[in-house]
Amino acid sequence: MDDRKKGVIRETDAEAIRLAKTLLRSARFGALAVLEPGTGAPLASRVGVATDIDGAPLILVSMLAAHTSALLADPRCSLLLGEPGKGDPLAHPRLTLACQASRLERGSQAQARAARRYLNRNPKASLYAGLGDFSIFRLEPQRASLNGGFGKAYLLDRADLVTAGPIVEELAASEQSAVEHMNAHHLDAIANYAHHFAKAPGAGWSIAGLDADGMDLVSGDDVCRVFFPQPLANSQELRPVLVEMARAARAAS
């Protein structure tokens, strides 16, 4: 890194990693940039986004789309996440990931898990997800750049964003049953999670996904990210953590 960049890039700290994970986990869509086969020219397109349980982005794309054929020819790609709000769009945080894309084989365990998580986050995609020309790609982050607003630039690596270790498969085995149980029996607690921990207004909140760092909550087209006080060390910690967070949120309301 040259001296000019050293003066611009801030040291990556826990706050920056948390913001990057929030942008990644709460994204509903993103701008996917690929390399056009034959010409090598850059090609950008909007795609729907979810995340695998470890944090890797998932996209559901048609095999007829230009960006899909580009990914099959060259898996290198970039994904830009972050929604602008009012005022200057450049004043709002965004995350750019450099990734390697891989198509998940239909019928495989990895594809089934990815499809479940994608549709939990994007239920309207069920209208076309089962069509034969649609496939799920997993985007493996290699590195990322975070712009948290003017003067807040950071560089991140894969370990800052993607969870590793046995906890991933442990949670994958029990996640869906936990999500269904919470959504069927504890909507009041979920609403308290959204209101207290994410400061998210409104009603109708449900859990779309659970992972070692926290949970993704949805209400219609709204998404919010709630982090656990500490990352889970094993799947047995999930229930007591949810119970304690519900108690704390209820006491604060």
Domain boundaries, the chain: 1-162, 163-246
In this predicted structure, what is the pLDDT of residue 91? 85
At residue 3, the pLDDT reads: 47
Quick one: tokens of 85?
Answer: 């709000």
pLDDT value at residue 5? 56
Confirm if 117 and 50 have CB atoms less than 8 A apart.
yes
Low-confidence ranges of the chain (pLDDT < 50): 1-4
Main-chain dihedrals φ then ψ at residue 35, nearest 5 degrees: -105, 125
Digit-coded pLDDT (tens) for 3-45 = 445 568 999 999 999 999 999 999 999 999 999 999 999 999 9
- Could you tell me how far CA 111 lies from the centroid of its own chain? 16
Architecture of the domain spanning 163-246: Alpha-Beta Barrel (3.20)
The backbone torsions φ and ψ at residue 74, rounded to the nearest 5 degrees and listed phi first, read -150, 110
In terms of Cα–Cα distance, which of 119, 126, 141, 139 is closest to 68?
A: 139
Q: Which amino acid is at 221?
A: D
- In whole angstroms, what is the distance from residue 153 CA to residue 24 CA? 16
What lies within 8 Å, CB to CB, of 33 at 6+ separation is 42, 43, 44, 77, 78, 79, 80
Length of the chain (residues): 253
Question: Can you tell me the distance from the alpha carbon of 59 to that of 101, in angstroms, rounded to the nearest whole number?
Answer: 10
DSSP sequence for 137-152:
EEEEEEEEEEE-STT-
At 6 the pLDDT is 58
CB 92 within 8 A of CB 84: yes
CB distance 137 to 127 below 8 Å:
no
The predicted structure's pLDDT at residue 202? 95
Fold type of domain 1-162? Pnp Oxidase; Chain A (2.30.110)
Output DSSP code: residue 9. Answer: B
Q: How far is CA 191 from CA 9, 216, 242, in A?
A: 37, 12, 13
Give the pLDDT score at 86: 86
By CB atoms closer than 10 A (0-12, 13-18, 19+), residue 120 is buried
Q: How many CB atoms within 10 Å of residue 43?
A: 16
pLDDT score at 89 = 87
Q: β-pairing, 29-35 with 94-103?
A: unpaired
Identify the pLDDT of residue 8.
85
Q: How far apart are CA 120 and CA 177, in angstroms?
A: 13
Beta bridge partner(s), residue 222: 219
Query: In this structure, what token pair is assigned to residue 251?
Result: 């006491």
Q: Return d(Cα 196, Cα 118) in angstroms, integer.
A: 26
